[in-house]
Structure 1
Amino acid sequence: MSRVHRTREQWRQLIAEFEQSELSQKDFCEPRGINPAYFSQRRSELQREAEDNDTGFVLAVPQSPTSQQTLQLRVGPTELVLPLSVSPRWVAQLVKELSA
């Protein structure tokens, strides 16, 4: 395979295409002339970079006072609804475990 220089943004776009493609890495990389092992390495590096740059903050939205007292946590399309009585330490541990 010939070597092609790609920018970080080009790698991000390729990785986004791969994640939406439902193809195996090999099937995705082969027609594009990309070594699957190198693709995997770049993907891991960019994921680590994104995690390092992540502030760790999420939007917490309390429900209206008329509804049952709950806390909603939304990260992207995922939503978690918890009672306000839940321990903040438990929530912090849950978030930590889910991000690992």
Structure 2
Amino acid sequence: MFTNKVSLAEASQQLSQHPKEFISLFQRGNLEVELYKPHLVDKQTPHDRDEAYIIASGSATFELEGNVTEVETGDFLFVPAHAVHKFSSFSEDFSTWVLFF
């Protein structure tokens, strides 16, 4: 049985000691899992792979190709490869799991 676990607390601790706003935590095949916590402004640009976000903590406004929605802890978002997207108006405790595939 596969039992690999990364807790939000552990991931947040690792990210707090990392110089970037994201940290890669797991890779297998074409799946990569990161924790992302933007600081003041979401600076990301479109990615070459599809991705999914699962909001780990806090809330934000999310914009995908001009469509805007409010997101909060537990919400799931899908972003196709090359799509323009960003988070804004995020709470201080905002963080999100990112799954690239």
TM-score category, normalised to shorter length: under 0.3
When normalised by structure 2's length, the TM-score is: 0.27
When normalised by structure 1's length, the TM-score is: 0.27
**Which is bigger in relative contact order (C-alpha 8 A, separation at least 6)?**
2
